[in-house]
Amino acid sequence: MIVSPLVLALVIGAPSFSVDPDVGATAAIERESARHWAALERLWVRTTGRAVKGPPNVRVHARRDFSAGFNGRSTPGVVQLRPTRGAPTERQRIALRHELAHQLLLAACPAAARDRLFHEAFAIWTSGEQENWLSEHITVREARRRLRRGIDDRPSTRAAIARVLAEADAERALTERMRDCEEGPPLTIEALAQAAQFSDAMVVISRHSGEVLAHDGASALKMPFGSTLKPFVVSAHGPGPELDVPADVPMWACHARGPKMGAEEALLRSCNGYFLDWPALPADFGRYQPLFDRFEVRPRVVAEAVGLASRLGLSAFELAQAYRVLAEADPAILATLDDNAKHGTLADTGFSAEGATKTGTVRDADSRPRVGWIVFVDDDVVAVMARRGRAPRTFAAELDAVVRGLDRASLVAVERAGDFAPGCGANGIAVSVSRDRVVVDAHVPDARWLCLGAPTVNGAGVVDGRRLRTRRGQAPRATLE
Ligand SMILES: [Zn+2]
């Protein structure tokens, strides 16, 4: 057999693994260790062009006294793991892969042994655990704030690193650090969390419980929101005037049906000219403004509110939350948007799911799309999809497939009677919604009341008087029932 020098180097470099019997599933863990080490080594060699030397042996032994949220620890050549009975659990395998990443870095780049951010980011990046931490929808800014407090192995730190890996330009910073790990300076939070400007994102939330049913990509990345907030402008300041459609005005080139246009048609055509010419239209979101304040969306001019100017940003998750409130506050405006897939901006795109839609497109100076948005709302869900560099019409079928793929039976609302105390879970935004008022951070008696980004103290749901509306199969928290 002819063995190339590189392969030989890899074979010589790989350690043997000895797993203590009290870890459980010894043979399986040895196999998993060897397999993952080989994968890490390949990544290292391909990124840096350098082989990994040693250690000759890595010993895995059991440790039972980890505090909650901790499943493993590493010192050079030794991995401590929470033990298991029977086959390795997914949690144990992730912890093993995480610790092996530390082991590989210690062997491949001893000079970076004290670069904690590099170590933890590399371990989370390569262990397959990243997805597990993304269910907490923190922004990159919040992630940065957490990391500045200190880098460790705690769940809140891991969620911050996972968020940065998902939404910022982190992989580039990581691979650069790998390449110059012997001489380079330690990885900084700024380098790791350098924000990507535009990215793909998708999130689906239940209108009833508020819980995230599906998400993908950079769902917490703030991006310019295009025309997606025009329905809030009409809901807040409508009904809106009937305006003459001027000829040869580019802002009005939106295929008007006739010589006059009202707010309803302006929404379906997403017609910027209409909003710019609406006399004395306030540059805010009226009764929804306190909610948008929480998302740091405070327009200075009408063009910013309707998305013609793109100074402000909103994440897919925040946009979905805002539409959850709109759907409770103004069903009529959603009914208007039911026509959008037939006669509006999504006509003839193959989008056929029954429900309200609104599109948004952010363009560069040459009118190329930088990011496209589609919001979908029906009786049970809010879905938001953003695609970098694409116009909404080009990915409408993709969102249609996501919406059609949802398990409808579990999504429908059920109502339960009980006593409901006002209050939101940690990090939630409490919103009271009635026909003419939206009150943020307070509970208004007799208004419908929901929590954005967290369950109510009673469980996930919308509270309406003494009833809790949630989705089927979801019980309110037992202690308060
Ligand atoms: Zn770690």
3-state secondary structure string, 88-131? CCHHHHHHHHHHHHHHHHHHHCHHHCCCHHHHHHHHHHHHCCHH
Confidence of residue 344 (pLDDT cuts 50, 70, 90): very high
Is the C-alpha dihedral spanning 194, 198, 200, 205 positive or negative? positive
How much is the pLDDT for 175? Answer: 86
Give me ligand 1 centre to Cα 306, in Å.
44
| Helix, coil or strand: residue 78 | strand
**pLDDT at residue 11 tops 60:** no
Lowest mean pLDDT among 331-340, 376-385, 412-421: 412-421
Taking the centre of ligand 1 as the mean of its atom positions, its distance from the CA of residue 72, in whole angstroms, is 8
- What is the predicted pLDDT for the residue at 476? 45
| Distance from residue 119's CA to the centre of ligand 1 (Å) | 7
Examine the fold and report which residue of 192, 210, 233 is the final residue of a domain before the chain moves on: 192
110 lies in the same domain as 232? no
Output the CA 75–ligand 1 centroid distance in Å. 11
What is the 134 CA–ligand 1 centroid distance (Å)?
Answer: 17
Query: What is d(CA 379, CA 406) in angstroms, rounded to the nearest whole number?
Result: 13
State in Å: Cα 140 to ligand 1 middle: 20
Both tokens assigned to 206: 């239940």
Total of domains in the chain: 3
Quote the pLDDT of residue 10.
Answer: 47
Determine the distance separating the centroid of ligand 1 and the alpha carbon of 116, expressed in angstroms. Answer: 8
- For residue 132, what is the DSSP state? H
Q: Are residues 422 and 403 in the same domain?
A: no
Between CA 297 and CA 313 the distance in angstroms is 7
Expressed in angstroms and rounded, the spacing between residue 221 Cα and the centre of ligand 1 is 25
Domain at 347, CATH number: 3.40.710.10
**Ligand 1 centroid to 27 CA: how many Å?**
24
Query: What average pLDDT does the structure give for the chain?
Result: 89
Task: Return the top range by mean pLDDT from 54-63, 189-198, 226-235.
Answer: 226-235
CA of 43 to the centre of ligand 1 (A): 18
Would you say residue 128 has pLDDT above 50?
Answer: yes
One domain for residues 158 and 294:
no
Q: Are residues 363 and 418 in the same domain?
A: no
Q: Could you say which DSSP state residue 477 is in?
A: P
Domain co-membership, 308 together with 219 = yes
The domain of 363 spans 201-409
Tell me what pLDDT residue 141 has.
Answer: 87
Task: Give, as one character, the DSSP assignment of residue 154.
Answer: S
Going from the Cα of 39 to the center of ligand 1, the distance in angstroms, rounded, reads 18
Is pLDDT at 479 greater than 60 in this prediction?
no
pLDDT band of residue 310 (cuts 50, 70, 90) is confident
Residues 400 and 424 in one domain: no
363, 394, 409 - which closes a domain: 409
pLDDT class for 474, splitting at 50, 70, 90?
low
Query: Is 273 found in the same domain as 336?
Result: yes
- pLDDT over 90 for what percent of the chain? 56
> Quick one: 376 and 264 in the same domain?
yes
DSSP state at residue 243 = E
- Same structural domain, 13 and 137: yes
Question: How much distance in Å is there from the Cα of 123 to the middle of ligand 1?
Answer: 6
Give the separation between CA 55 and CA 61, rounded to whole angstroms: 16
Report whether pLDDT(353) > 60.
yes
Last residue of a domain, one of 350, 376, 409: 409
Ligand 1 center to 453 CA (angstroms): 28
Rounded mean pLDDT of 103-132?
93
- Give the Å distance between the CA of 102 and the centre of ligand 1: 7
> Do residues 418 and 402 share a domain?
no
pLDDT tens digits, 28-54: 999 999 999 999 998 898 888 888 987
How much distance in Å is there from the Cα of 117 to the middle of ligand 1? 9
Tens-place pLDDT, residues 232-255? 999 999 999 999 999 888 889 899
Whether residues 229 and 378 share a domain: the answer is: yes
Distance from Cα 236 to the centre of ligand 1, integer Å: 48
Q: Are residues 392 and 443 in the same domain?
A: no
Measured in angstroms, how far is the CA atom of residue 197 from the centroid of ligand 1? 28
Integer angstrom CA distances of residue 383 from 34, 202, 323, 359:
42, 7, 9, 12
| CA 435 – ligand 1 centroid, Å | 50
131-157: pLDDT as tens digits: 888 888 888 889 999 999 999 888 999
CA distances from 400 to 81, 242, 321, 394 (A): 44, 33, 20, 12
